[in-house]
């Protein structure tokens, strides 16, 4: 039974007073504590989809460390997998396990695959414009390590198409408040129960947000790496906070290196991904002598290792990717964003090969959750890349990230509602918590980064790529 909060107990329940649902920082002045029913940390597809699957009588607050659009969900190029029919189940299941080196949680894989048609139906309902064939049917493409075409896409900006549609739907919900440039500094926890979090607002003020339920959807760890396709602000804060509170983590050494990002001589920003879809459509990889050296459709980790080995052998900083093998019309219609970015960098994929190099891309480990996305701390859930339900195993199959994030976000929302309890009394220690302990932003950020890096490098696996 869903029990709604008594908003007279703990302080003030905030609603957005702006037409687009964005929080007005001015309204916070002189307020000691915010209160919300559900606090969601992160504005990527998993956080947004969680919110959309919650009852509208719940007051929901979504905070984002950067702008709402600066999540890795927006960057996803390739597409999203879907079980086309029952005849594809066995191969979809086997492809996912083979890519993950059979380290996957089989129950999670089963749930993800079987839930995919329902998720896709939801996305289409939110207006997601997947590619269609000449008869109006959904069009499917293939990527590396897939035995069949089962990937839906929108050009080469599928993540942006999906996440922007979800964000637009969220902004229409009067019960959802959105707060940009608001960083989670800690969670409020006592006796194995989460009561919300401590945040730093855009204006630098420290603030407690009391919540009946908290959902961590704060992305991966790419910001810790010199070369990564991720946004630089994604530094694994939720992982550090979890370690601080003895929340269980899982598979922290499982970090995926994507084989192909556009080579930059002096990388200053995130690496630009050259989607696996281009290899799925026929693109080839060459060494310095323009000879093939690997089966381009092997799993990502296999191809990445082959590239790194070839670079070492050749004494080069990159290898070459040939997109000229793809028909011009297909290249223009399916990969316009990649074409534009390559041209901006000074390369013409129609007439020449482009230089590519592996870079950190995805984190398969994270905060350990069950099949309903619940963490080891009561009333705390984790979804998306920051969570680990074991679905990906040791290496993620291409285009399973968006699907997994959405499937287990919806499962989190359902479980949250089924087990919902409002906070009646905030423990005295939390009510009297001194926020001055969080005042020095730089020291706290450095401490959190050190904690996560130490955990990531326990097996000496990542020393060469940590920046």
Catalytic residue annotation = 300
Cα(31)–Cα(35) distance, rounded to whole angstroms? Answer: 11
Strands 354-363 and 380-382: unpaired
Whether 102 and 75 have beta carbons less than 8 Å apart is answered as: no
SS3 of the chain: CCCCCCCCCCCEECCCCCCCCECCHHHHCCCCEEEEEEEEECCCHHHHHHHHCCCCCCCEEEECCCCCCCCHHHHCCCCEECCCCHHHHHHHHHHHHHHCCCCCCHHHHHHHHHHHHHHHHHHHHCCCCCCECCCCCECCECCCCCCCCCEECCCCCHHHHHHHHHHHHHHCCCCEEEECCCEEEEEEEECCEEEEEEEECCCCCEEEEEEEEEEECCCCCHHHECCECCCCCCCCHHHHHHHHCCCCEECCCCEEEEEEEECCCCCCCCCCECCHHHHHCCCEEECCCCCECCCCCCCHHHHHHHHHHHHHHHCCCCEEEECCCCCHHHHHHHCHHHHHHHHHCCCCCCCCCEEEEEEEEEECCEEECCCCCECCCECEEECHHHEECCCCCCCCCCCCHHHHHHHHHHHHHHHHHHCCCCCCCCCHHHHCCCHHHHCCHHHHHHHHHHHHHHHHCCCCCCCCCEC
Whether 236 and 220 have beta carbons less than 8 Å apart is answered as: yes
Cα(60)–Cα(39) distance, rounded to whole angstroms? Answer: 6
Strands 380-382 and 206-216: parallel
Q: Encoding tokens for residue 148?
A: 């069949």
Q: In whole angstroms, how large is the CA radius of gyration of the chain?
A: 22
Cα(409)–Cα(27) distance, rounded to whole angstroms? Answer: 30
Q: Encoding tokens for residue 452?
A: 């996560």
Angle at 83 between CA 80 and CA 87, to 5 degrees: 150
């Amino acid at each position: 039974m869903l029990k709604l909060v008594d908003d007279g107990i703990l302080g003030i329940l905030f609603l957005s007073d702006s037409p687009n649902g964005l929080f007005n920082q001015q309204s916070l002045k002189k307020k000691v504590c915010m209160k919300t029913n559900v606090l969601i940390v992160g504005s990527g597809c998993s956080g947004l989809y969680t919110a959309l699957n919650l009852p509208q009588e719940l007051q929901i607050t979504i905070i984002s460390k950067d702008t709402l659009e600066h999540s890795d969900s927006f960057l996803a190029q390739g597409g999203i997998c879907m079980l086309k029919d029952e005849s594809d189940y066995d191969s979809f299941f086997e492809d996912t396990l083979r890519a993950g080196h059979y380290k996957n949680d089989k129950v999670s894989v089963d749930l993800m695959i079987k839930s995919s048609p329902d998720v896709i139906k939801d996305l289409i309902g939110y207006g997601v414009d997947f590619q269609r064939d000449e008869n109006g049917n959904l069009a499917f493409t293939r990527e590396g390590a897939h035995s069949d075409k089962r990937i839906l896409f929108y050009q080469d900006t599928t993540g942006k198409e999906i996440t922007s549609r979800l964000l637009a739907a969220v902004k229409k919900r009067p019960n959802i408040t959105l707060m940009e440039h608001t960083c989670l500094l800690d969670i409020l926890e006592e006796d194995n129960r989460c009561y919300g979090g401590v945040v730093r607002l855009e204006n630098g003020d420290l603030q407690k947000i009391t919540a009946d339920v908290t959902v961590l959807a704060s992305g991966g760890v790419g910001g810790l790496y010199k070369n990564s396709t991720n946004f630089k602000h994604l530094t694994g804060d939720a992982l550090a906070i979890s370690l601080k509170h003895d929340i269980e983590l899982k598979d922290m050494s499982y970090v995926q290196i994507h084989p192909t990002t556009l080579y930059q001589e002096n990388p200053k920003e995130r690496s630009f991904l050259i989607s696996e879809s281009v290899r799925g459509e026929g693109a080839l990889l060459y060494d310095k002598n323009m000879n093939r050296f690997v089966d381009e459709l092997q799993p990502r980790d296999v191809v990445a290792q082959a590239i790194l080995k070839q670079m070492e052998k050749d004494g080069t900083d990159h290898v070459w990717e040939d997109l000229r093998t793809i028909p011009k019309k297909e290249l223009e219609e399916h990969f316009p964003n990649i074409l534009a970015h390559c041209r901006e960098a000074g390369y013409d994929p129609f007439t020449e090969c482009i230089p590519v190099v592996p870079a950190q891309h995805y984190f398969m480990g994270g905060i350990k959750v069950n099949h309903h996305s619940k963490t080891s701390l009561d009333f705390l859930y984790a979804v998306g890349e920051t969570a680990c339900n074991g679905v990906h195993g040791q290496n993620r199959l291409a285009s399973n990230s968006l699907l997994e994030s959405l499937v287990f976000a919806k499962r989190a929302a359902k479980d949250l509602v089924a087990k919902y309890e409002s906070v009646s009394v905030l423990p005295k220690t939390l009510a009297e918590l001194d926020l001055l302990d969080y005042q020095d932003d730089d020291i706290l950020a450095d401490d959190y980064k050190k904690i996560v890096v130490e955990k990531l490098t326990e097996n000496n696996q990542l020393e060469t790529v940590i920046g």
